[in-house]
Amino acid sequence: MTVVNERKSFGTTEVLKGVDLKVHKGEVVAVIGPSGSGKTTMIRTLNAMESVTSGDVLYRGVPVGYKVTSSGARKVVSDKELSRTRENIGMVFQQFNLFPHKTALENVTFAPTQLRKANAAGTTANAMAQLEKVGMAAHAQKYPHQLSGGQQQRVAIARALAMSPDVMLFDEPTSALDPELVDEVLQVMTGLASEGLTMVVVTHEMRFAREVADWVVFMDQGVVVEEGPAAQLFDNPQHERTQRFLTRVMATN
């Protein structure tokens, strides 16, 4: 995926002020930065959950969620095209967003069933395989309220995986969890990374970013201040704002 000079305003407030980003196939990119720096807004534009005001978000060279007409105007694509995009680019949220009245298994089969990705038996078999992968097969018949936050988030990851996405986006997937539940989710994500899944992860988990990410992007006040390989960014940050941020989060981690 490629983001080029992305700008985004809400009303008169510009929250993304020219963001550039490259995500190579098979890479894990971690996005770090203080609260309010535009991380959520940016990651949501990667699968068109948020529109861009100007600049480009491209997946395989094609704009994500919009079309540029011959006159240069932007047009939102049809719902059908949007859902095709979101099949390729899955998302996991901070707040899990599971359907409360569906079991874990039903949460995972829901979207593939809507899209008739396979027959019912195939959809269920695939969903069970994804639940197995995140260590939740034994809880397939449970409802979200019967699961811990970490378990719910693992189901949410299985749900996204069930669409066989090429890219997975994670927006602070462990921030809503009690500290003792963070590792089980990070372990699942580490497994996905080692399988070569392309991932963009907004995170406050610096150890995860350092150990798992190929590339780390530091955002502040709507821009990418600094980016680089994890070891370089953490051991040898070049910008004063990066240094200040890292000092602060390391102190509280």
Instruction: Give the C-alpha separation, 194 to 179, whole Å.
Output: 24
The distance of closest approach from Cβ of residue 133 to ligand ADP in the complex, given in angstroms and rounded to an integer, is 28
Between 38 and 150, CB nearer to ligand ADP: 38
Name which of Mg ion, ligand ADP, none residue 36 binds, using a CB cut-off of 5 to 8 Å depending on partner kind.
ligand ADP
Phi-psi region of 55 (alpha: psi -120 to 50; beta: other; left: phi over 0): left
Task: Determine, following the binding rule CB under 5 A, whether residue 174 of this chain makes contact with Mg ion.
Answer: no
Window 11-40: contact mask with ligand ADP (x via CB under 6 A): ----x-----------------x-xxxxxx
Task: Determine, following the binding rule CB under 6 A, whether residue 10 of this chain makes contact with ligand ADP.
Answer: yes
- Compute CA distances 29 → 61, 204, 216, 230, 253, whole Å: 19, 13, 6, 9, 20
Could you tell me the two tokens for 29?
């990119």
Which residue spans within 193-236 are E strands per DSSP? 198-202, 215-220, 223-229
Task: Determine, following the binding rule CB under 5 A, whether residue 109 of this chain makes contact with Mg ion.
Answer: no
Task: Determine, following the binding rule CB under 6 A, whether residue 49 of this chain makes contact with ligand ADP.
Answer: no
Name which of Mg ion, ligand ADP, none residue 196 binds, using a CB cut-off of 5 to 8 Å depending on partner kind.
none
* Sequence letter at residue 101: H
Query: Among 28, 29, 41, 185, which residue sits at the site for ligand ADP (rule: CB under 6 A)?
Result: 41
Between 41 and 103, CB nearer to Mg ion: 41
Sequence-separated (6 or more) residues with CB below 8 Å from residue 228 = 215, 216
Count of residues near ligand ADP by CB under 6 A: 10
Could you tell me the two tokens for 194?
């080692």
Task: Determine, following the binding rule CB under 5 A, whether residue 40 of this chain makes contact with Mg ion.
Answer: yes
Name which of Mg ion, ligand ADP, none residue 152 binds, using a CB cut-off of 5 to 8 Å depending on partner kind.
none
The distance of closest approach from Cβ of residue 242 to ligand ADP in the complex, given in angstroms and rounded to an integer, is 15
* Sequence letter at residue 205: E
Burial class (CB in 10 A: 0-12, 13-18, 19+), 221: middle
Instruction: Give the C-alpha separation, 7 to 194, whole Å.
Output: 33
Half-sphere exposure of 242 toward its Cβ, with a 13 Å CA cutoff?
Answer: 22
Burial class (CB in 10 A: 0-12, 13-18, 19+), 131: buried
The distance of closest approach from Cβ of residue 81 to ligand ADP in the complex, given in angstroms and rounded to an integer, is 23
Name which of Mg ion, ligand ADP, none residue 15 binds, using a CB cut-off of 5 to 8 Å depending on partner kind.
ligand ADP
Between 94 and 113, CB nearer to ligand ADP: 94
The distance of closest approach from Cβ of residue 182 to Mg ion in the complex, given in angstroms and rounded to an integer, is 17
Residues at the contact surface with ligand ADP, assessed by CB under 6 A? 10, 15, 33, 35-41
Residues at the contact surface with Mg ion, assessed by CB under 5 A? 39-40
